[in-house]
């Protein structure tokens, strides 16, 4: 399947600017993948609201051959979606259950699930076509995952919408097609006023939109706060109103009408500094940006970033303590790194501490621990592993870590606004490539570097990650993901050091992000999280995938399936037939 669309065009056009605390650091979750588990969970929660909190039937249709169709089990789409319709929180300990246990929970709750793989004709790699019902009503929801746990609901009952979970969404379903015509319901106030006109008048400060398809007509009210329940109850009594659905926000930072930001790109940020005459560091500009984006004070943004830092610290501690989870490919690696450091096998220096912390976070994620996507689950170890590892080795204070995370977060905003965090769209350069660039800015900030050095380090790290593919082995976000997270730390560390030495960047960071976006659109589906090509397509990779699927969890303890030598399996590696495309 050709991904000929632009990453920021058509239905994917950005409608709200990225937030450090939405797009870059988040979601806080349990599960293997943010773009699969996190986004699926958020879509599922909105489906649950659409059905007034009770779903008894779900039909999921995933476009044949796409990343979502190929990997929805192993990468946790099912875990996120099913947990949501069961009413669980995304960090509920029940989200740690094995896949078969979650499916049994659905049976116990009386929820029937069917998964189909038709040819939907959709080009997006992570397109959801869901039908949800409860015996009283049924709705169709079409959505896409856009990377890092972010998503867009594109259509409800075939009527076009763009819902991103960052505002209160009230859907007033019309009893018939008269809600926007000259024919009015009898019990209207004032007399002769259509439902659409009434809503525009009643909710003057909010956005009211008529949404229409052959299947349904409804009026959508987007508001920054929840609407008055008494007003909604009055609406329900109108004869032209069939039902009212309130979809609550699923993102921590809400959007606002008439949102104004100081900048959205690195070049725009530098222009802002010239115009204001201020001398601010990257972390201070991050506070300025996120305060404007979220409508919170800079002190509130700082506090929320402290909360993020505490969650990251807990993930590191969880991983360092040793983790155990039955359904994983790799054994815990952080204890191996700790042991090597303690025995003097490797140097006890800043680099090994960054590797140790990165590994600990990835171990925690794979053991279904609570973690922060940064900016994705598959790359969650790189940025915090580098920043906390370096800071702890040198005994730096927590406030210095928060500053470094803020600086990293603003680089993430620039990447999200100019490209994507989705491996399904741009391979692993959108994940560990992006997180490496974020880590580089954080490392420069930790070491007292200036704004321009941070931008240089981030830009160089993007440049060295262009074309990085996503080829997870056995449909698990473990290998080569752990190694790529560590490699991202190493690229970030090298770029930070050379930037502090005042090496100059040849390509400005905004142009490097643009190049990343273009390269992503050129990458074939087979190397973008579909299990089609790369390490997953080697003989050993295929063998591991078969074993993970066919053997019960009890028969394959973590690490037991890994090869014990470097002898080539069957003396050959997997090759596609000449002239054919990989699956997906």
| SS3 track for 333-354 | CHHHHHHHHHCCCCCCCHHHHH
The tens digit of pLDDT for each residue in 251-271 reads 999 998 889 999 999 999 999
The tens digit of pLDDT for each residue in 495-511 reads 999 999 999 999 999 99
pLDDT at 13 over 50: no
| Helical pair 398-418 and 432-446, crossing angle rounded to 10 deg | 140
Q: What is the pLDDT of residue 571?
A: 46
Q: What is the DSSP letter of 36?
A: I
Q: What is the pLDDT of residue 9?
A: 34
Q: What is the pLDDT of residue 564?
A: 87
Domain boundaries, the chain: 168-248, 266-527
The tens digit of pLDDT for each residue in 70-84 reads 889 988 999 999 999
User: Binning pLDDT at 50, 70 and 90, where does residue 185 land?
Assistant: very low
User: Binning pLDDT at 50, 70 and 90, where does residue 189 land?
Assistant: low
Average of per-residue pLDDT across 144-162: 96
pTM of the model: 0.91
pLDDT at 2 over 50: no
Q: For residue 470, what are the β-bridge partners?
A: 528
Query: Which strand (E) or helix (H) includes residue 387?
Result: helix 382-393
User: Binning pLDDT at 50, 70 and 90, where does residue 176 land?
Assistant: confident
Q: What is the pLDDT of residue 177?
A: 77
Map residue 129 onto helix, strand or coil: strand
Q: What is the pLDDT of residue 178?
A: 74
pLDDT at 570 over 80: no
pLDDT at 187 over 60: no
Strands 241-247 and 168-174: antiparallel
Q: What is the DSSP letter of 569?
A: G
pLDDT at 175 over 50: yes
**Alpha carbon distance 538, 215 (integer Å):** 47
Q: What is the pLDDT of residue 5?
A: 30
DSSP 416-447: HHHS-S-HHHHGGGGTHHHHHHHHHHHHHHHT
Task: Provide the percentage of residues in the chain whose pLDDT is more than 70.
Answer: 93
User: Binning pLDDT at 50, 70 and 90, where does residue 566 land?
Assistant: confident
User: Binning pLDDT at 50, 70 and 90, where does residue 180 land?
Assistant: confident
Average of per-residue pLDDT across 441-445: 98
φ, ψ of residue 473 in degrees (nearest 5):
-85, 135
**Alpha carbon distance 247, 346 (integer Å):** 53
pLDDT at 573 over 80: no
Average of per-residue pLDDT across 536-562: 94
Q: What is the pLDDT of residue 258?
A: 87
Fold (CATH) for 168-248: Alpha-Beta Plaits (3.30.70)
The tens digit of pLDDT for each residue in 116-135 reads 999 998 888 899 999 999 99
Tokens of residue 171, six digits: 């859907």
Q: Which of 484, 390, 483 is nearest to 434 (CA)?
A: 484
pLDDT at 563 over 60: yes
Fold (CATH) for 266-527: 2-methylcitrate dehydratase PrpD (1.10.4100)
């Amino acid at each position: 399947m050709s991904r000929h669309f632009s990453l920021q065009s058509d239905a994917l056009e950005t409608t709200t600017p990225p937030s450090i605390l939405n797009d870059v650091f988040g979601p806080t979750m349990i599960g293997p993948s943010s773009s699969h588990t996190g986004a699926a969970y958020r879509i599922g929660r909105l489906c649950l609201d659409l059905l007034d909190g009770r779903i008894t039937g779900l039909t999921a249709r995933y476009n044949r051959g796409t990343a979502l169709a190929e990997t929805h089990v192993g990468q946790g789409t099912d875990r996120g979606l099913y947990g949501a319709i069961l009413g669980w929180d995304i960090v509920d300990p029940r989200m740690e259950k094995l896949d078969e246990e979650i499916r049994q929970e659905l049976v116990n709750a009386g929820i029937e699930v069917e998964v189909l793989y038709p040819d939907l004709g959709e080009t997006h790699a992570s397109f959801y076509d869901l039908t949800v019902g409860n015996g009283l009503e049924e709705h169709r929801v079409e959505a896409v995952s856009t990377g890092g746990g972010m998503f867009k609901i594109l259509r409800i009952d075939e009527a076009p919408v763009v819902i991103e979970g960052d505002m209160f969404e009230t859907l007033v379903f019309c009893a018939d097609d008269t809600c926007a015509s000259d024919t009015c319901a009898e019990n209207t106030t004032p007399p002769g006023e259509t439902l659409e006109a009434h809503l525009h008048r009643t909710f003057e400060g909010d956005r009211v939109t008529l949404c229409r398809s052959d299947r349904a007509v409804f009026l959508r009210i987007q508001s920054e706060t929840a609407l008055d329940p008494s007003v909604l109850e009055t609406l329900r009594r109108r004869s032209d109103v069939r039902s009212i659905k309130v979809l609550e926000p699923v993102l921590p930072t809400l959007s606002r009408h008439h949102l104004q930001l100081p900048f959205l790109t690195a070049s725009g940020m530098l222009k802002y500094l010239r115009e204001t005459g201020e001398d601010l560091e990257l972390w201070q500009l991050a506070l300025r940006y996120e305060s404007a984006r979220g409508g919170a004070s800079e002190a509130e943004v700082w506090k929320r970033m402290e909360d993020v830092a505490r969650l990251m610290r807990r993930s590191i501690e969880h991983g360092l303590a040793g983790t155990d989870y039955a359904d994983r490919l790799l054994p815990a690696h952080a204890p191996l790194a700790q042991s090597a450091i303690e025995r003097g096998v490797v140097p006890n220096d800043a680099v090994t501490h960054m590797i140790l912390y990165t590994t600990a976070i990835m171990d925690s994620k794979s053991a279904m621990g609570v973690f922060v996507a940064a900016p994705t689950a598959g790359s969650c170890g790189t940025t915090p592993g580098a920043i906390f590892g370096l800071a702890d080795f040198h005994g730096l204070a927590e406030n210095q870590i928060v500053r470094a995370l803020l600086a990293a977060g603003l680089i993430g905003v620039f990447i999200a606004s100019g490209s994507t965090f989705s491996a399904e769209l741009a391979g692993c350069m959108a994940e560990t490539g992006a997180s490496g660039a974020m880590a580089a800015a954080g490392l420069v900030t930790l070491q007292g570097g200036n704004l321009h050095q941070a931008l240089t380090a981030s830009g160089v790290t993007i440049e060295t990650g262009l074309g990085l593919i996503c080829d997870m082995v056995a449909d698990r976000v473990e290998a080569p993901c752990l190694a790529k997270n560590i490699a991202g730390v190493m690229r970030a560390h090298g770029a930070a050091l050379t930037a502090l030495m005042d090496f100059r960047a040849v390509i400005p960071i905004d142009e490097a992000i643009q190049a990343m976006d273009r390269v992503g659109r050129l990458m074939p589906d087979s190397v973008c999280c579909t299990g089609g090509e790369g390490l997953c397509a080697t003989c050993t990779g295929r063998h591991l995938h078969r074993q993970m699927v066919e053997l019960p969890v009890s028969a394959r303890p973590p690490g037991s399936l890994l090869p014990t030598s470097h002898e080539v399996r069957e003396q050959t590696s997997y090759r596609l037939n000449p002239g054919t495309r990989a699956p997906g």
